[in-house]
Structure 1
């Protein structure tokens, strides 16, 4: 069977970065069971924005 390129890239990225592959519910379950982050954190915000500055307080 042939796996499409998008799915193959998702598998490669998850494998190379040791992230869990699956939907949000599954990843959250694994995260709570292992007490380990299962996906990348969001990137930092615009440090000049008011919203970002308020988070620092």
Structure 2
């Protein structure tokens, strides 16, 4: 129950937990978003996006 309470507090109200379209990290994303904050345009790529792509 503690984890669920923490998730509710930290997630934006309209956000749904989905995987990022670029790095596959589970993140709270707004309905019109497909990338996490780190992978969004203007953000620093979180590092997982570049793994295994050589």
Structure 1 length normalisation: TM-score?
0.31
Indicate the structure with greater helix content.
Answer: 1
Structure number with bigger Rg: 1
